[in-house]
Structure 1
Amino acid sequence: MTKKTSLALVLTTTMLVTGLAAGCGRNASSEAVTQKIDTSVTRSAEGSAKSSSDHPAYPRVLKDEMGNEVTLPSAPTKIFAPNLEDTLVALGVAPVVQWSTGSRPKMYLQDKLKDVPSIAFAGGLPPEPEAVMAHEPDLILLHNANHMESGVYDKYKMIAPTYVFKHTDANLESSVRVVGDLLGKSAEAEKALQEYKEHVESAKKELAPHIQGKKTAIIRFNGRGMFFIKYDFFSGYVLTKELGFLPSQIVSGGGINLSLESLPDLDADYIFLINDASTGDAFEKDLTESPVWKSMEAVKNGRTFKVEGDHWLSGGLIAHMKVIDDVKGLIAK
């Protein structure tokens, strides 16, 4: 029997078993996380059916952000949501398995997820369906539309109901609410969003005297070189859209690649440096030991900061709040 034939047989068997399980109910003691779907209206196979947020009707049928129909035969309890672990943790949910680079997962979440197994996205490539299926998820959440174009969605939807977002980082507030709805955690989602907004507003007031009218840039080092972090996602979004730093024109108007030759054009009052898992040591040394770097106003004014932690390169309420706390500790002390 070939590997493809074997996988097809396993996937078919899994779907049959899933269907039977949906009809017979689930053994709660075998599930890692128990959740309820929070929705006021659920559509069944016979048509629209009214239901309370505590007791929705199943099967629930909905469309994801890419227009795919998603059928939930019962309340999902085992979630695989690579790159959305931050949102799950913010809602009080543990995934059945967590994303990893192949060497480590998101370290800033390990106080909550240290007992959750990891699955490798080595080289940026998603794991094969067999590896995902071994964890028996009953809902898969994919954080951007690239998974449609790459064919990952077509493979994963054979394992479990799969919901695809266009791009969760483009609208974090919306994606948190959607995940909350899917997992029956809408109240938790609203609470987490409110706590985040309060965290942002408090930090803005504290930091305003230090950053008003000041421009910022974030430089990332890794094994491929040195790059600017743009302002539409991750820590770049936090610094400009949330805290109120002004964007550097060179970062806003150009590409992300940085060279020593272009460094004199960097118009930033505050510069944050991120060495991605210490993979960019050589490039960081080249930059920080160069005469042009040492001559920059931000360097001479003591407004360059090396920041640690993968939360600077992650999206999510928890990551963003950790970035805010780092900035407060560095420039408001």
Structure 2
Amino acid sequence: MTRFRNILLSVLTLSVFGLLAAACNNASTGEPSVQPSVEISQSAESKESAAPSAEQTRTVHDAVGDVVIPANPERIVAPYVEDALVSLGITPTMQWSLGSYVQDYLQPYLKDVPFLDFTDGPNLEALLAADPDLIVLYTTNLAKDGGYEQFSKIAPTYAFEDATVSWKDTLNTLGDIVGKQKEADAAIQAYEDKLTEAKAALKPYTEGKTFAVIRIKPKEFLLMDGTYYSGPVLYQDLGLKPHPLIKELSWDYNYPFSLELLPDLDADYIFLLVQGETARDKANELQNSSLWQDLPAVKNNHVFEVDISYWMAAGAIAHSKKVDDVVRLITQQ
């Protein structure tokens, strides 16, 4: 790949063309969001001369089509899929960031890994300098409007439709790609074993109870449903019962709601996700409301603020930490 990088650098043409179409989950969610902000041009001749031999590659099918990837990739950049790589025992070459915002829960595993900043679109100059031999896109939103071609000029690129929907499928896919299926199986089994213990511990406290997750952004409150991140863990894996208001209101993975709806949210337990210090004023507005103070969960001290860095993430590590939080917070009342 060093030869590939040198050739690519010799023909690199940069032209800033601004921010392209935003993905469904953008900077407001703390997820990778936009297309590359720098255009990369490379001659077909130089790309062909840099290509590895057939014996060193394999063809796989991703959400975009067939892609030729290294048979044994070693320098992998997978923004917002680092949870899966770490679960497989792999340290990525770069890690996702949004300015100073990073995936805090993964930093013990990634403390020396440089950041790939997505503030104004992925920093392709930094990505190029990192010399990856495989790039993994967590969503096809990053592949739209020429994005896939831009990434592919740097290194072979594998695109998921949406890697956050089923972390197990994502882990199995990556395990196959990097030759670590045993590690993928072990991580999934460890999570299943944790669930068995957690459900037994929670049953005396949660049977017949209802739950809700509120995400607080700087300018709005969102009621999370069961589609992404926290929902699958609480309502599917742990078998907890979502409050009826969640199903009535949620049309996507979260639903904006106003303080006037609070009297209807009489869930037994509520988890709060405060999206950074910029959302703290909004959180105070909620918690200082008389409507909030009248909620059963508030009166019974059944409201818990949790770490948004992994409650708004998907993967074996993130989901395991959610399970640990739920068991600890509910059983130690």
Could you say which TM-score interval applies, normalised by the shorter chain?
A: 0.7 to 0.9
Aligned CA-pair RMSD:
2.2
- Aligned twin of 1:3: 14
Distance in 2 between the 1:162 and 1:143 partners? 11
Distance in 1 between the 2:14 and 2:139 partners? 29
Asked if 2 retains the 8 angstrom alpha-carbon contact of 1:240 and 1:246, the reply is yes
Distance in 2 between the 1:76 and 1:2 partners? 26
SS of residue in 1 equivalent to 2:214: strand
Asked if 2 retains the 8 angstrom alpha-carbon contact of 1:15 and 1:160, the reply is no
Q: From the superposition, tell whether residues 73 and 176 of structure 1 become closer, same or farther in structure 2 (CA, over 3 Å).
A: closer
Alignment of 1:208-287 (within 5 A): 208-255=203-250, 256-287=255-286
Q: From the superposition, tell whether residues 219 and 14 of structure 1 become closer, same or farther in structure 2 (CA, over 3 Å).
A: farther
Asked if 1 retains the 8 angstrom alpha-carbon contact of 2:40 and 2:150, the reply is no
Distance in 2 between the 1:17 and 1:331 partners? 60
The equivalent position to 1:89 in structure 2, one of 86, 89, 92, is: 86
Asked if 1 retains the 8 angstrom alpha-carbon contact of 2:13 and 2:41, the reply is no
Unaligned residue ranges in structure 1 (runs of 5+): 24-43, 45-56
- Aligned twin of 1:204: 199
Q: From the superposition, tell whether residues 9 and 258 of structure 1 become closer, same or farther in structure 2 (CA, over 3 Å).
A: closer
SS of residue in 2 equivalent to 1:257: strand
Distance in 2 between the 1:79 and 1:320 partners? 23
How many equivalent pairs are there? 296
The equivalent position to 1:163 in structure 2, one of 158, 163, 167, is: 158
Cα distance, 1:58 vs structure 2: 3.4
Alignment of 1:1-333 (within 5 A): 3-4=14-15, 8-9=40-41, 15=47, 18-19=50-51, 22-23=52-53, 58-64=56-62, 66-122=63-119, 126-255=121-250, 256-333=255-332
Distance in 1 between the 2:276 and 2:291 partners? 26
Distance in 2 between the 1:323 and 1:85 partners? 17
Cα distance, 1:73 vs structure 2: 4.2
Asked if 1 retains the 8 angstrom alpha-carbon contact of 2:85 and 2:92, the reply is yes
TM-score (norm 1): 0.83
Matched letter for residue 47 of structure 2: M
Cα distance, 1:87 vs structure 2: 0.5
Percent of residue pairs bearing the same amino acid type: 36
Q: From the superposition, tell whether residues 236 and 7 of structure 1 become closer, same or farther in structure 2 (CA, over 3 Å).
A: closer
- Aligned twin of 1:54: none
Q: Which runs of 4+ in 1 moved over 4 A?
A: 5-14
Distance in 1 between the 2:315 and 2:137 partners? 15
Q: From the superposition, tell whether residues 229 and 17 of structure 1 become closer, same or farther in structure 2 (CA, over 3 Å).
A: farther
Query: For 1:230-277, what per-residue CA distance to the aligned partner results, in whole angstroms no more than 9, with x for missing partners?
Result: 211111221111111111222222141021111111141100111112
SS of residue in 2 equivalent to 1:127: coil
Distance in 2 between the 1:267 and 1:169 partners? 29
Asked if 2 retains the 8 angstrom alpha-carbon contact of 1:107 and 1:309, the reply is no
- Aligned twin of 2:26: none
TM-score (norm 2): 0.83
- Aligned twin of 2:34: none
Query: For 1:136-180, what per-residue CA distance to the aligned partner results, in whole angstroms no more than 9, with x for missing partners?
Result: 111111112212334321211121111111112222211110010
Distance in 2 between the 1:18 and 1:204 partners? 53
Distance in 1 between the 2:145 and 2:228 partners? 22
SS of residue in 2 equivalent to 1:279: helix
Asked if 2 retains the 8 angstrom alpha-carbon contact of 1:102 and 1:119, the reply is no
85-94 or 205-214, larger mean C-alpha shift: 205-214
Distance in 2 between the 1:217 and 1:239 partners? 9
Matched letter for residue 3 of structure 1: L
Matched letter for residue 276 of structure 1: Q
